[in-house]
Amino acid sequence: MEQAAKNDELTRWYYLTGGTALSEFYLHHRLSEDIDFFTRSEVYQVK
């Protein structure tokens, strides 16, 4: 999570959502090993 938050390109275009975001930043109720990112733009190339 820290590495993702430090990545300017990632934080510029994508935002964290889902259970991971709730758990990490608000509820602190469970461990989640996946990360769900969403974007408002179309993604043409994924590296």
pTM > 0.75: yes or no? no
The residue to which tokens 């608000």 are assigned: 26
**Strand 15-17, strand 36-38: pairing:** antiparallel
How does pLDDT run across 1-47, given as a tens digit for each residue?
Answer: 778 778 888 777 777 776 766 666 667 666 667 677 777 777 666 66
**pLDDT score for 39:** 76
Q: E strands within 1-47?
A: 15-17, 36-38
**pLDDT score for 32:** 64
Determine whether 7 is exposed, middle or buried from the number of CB atoms within 10 Å of its CB (0-12, 13-18, 19+).
exposed
**pLDDT score for 20:** 66
**pLDDT score for 21:** 64
The count of C-alpha atoms lying within 13 angstroms of the C-alpha of 23, restricted to the half-sphere facing its C-beta, is: 12
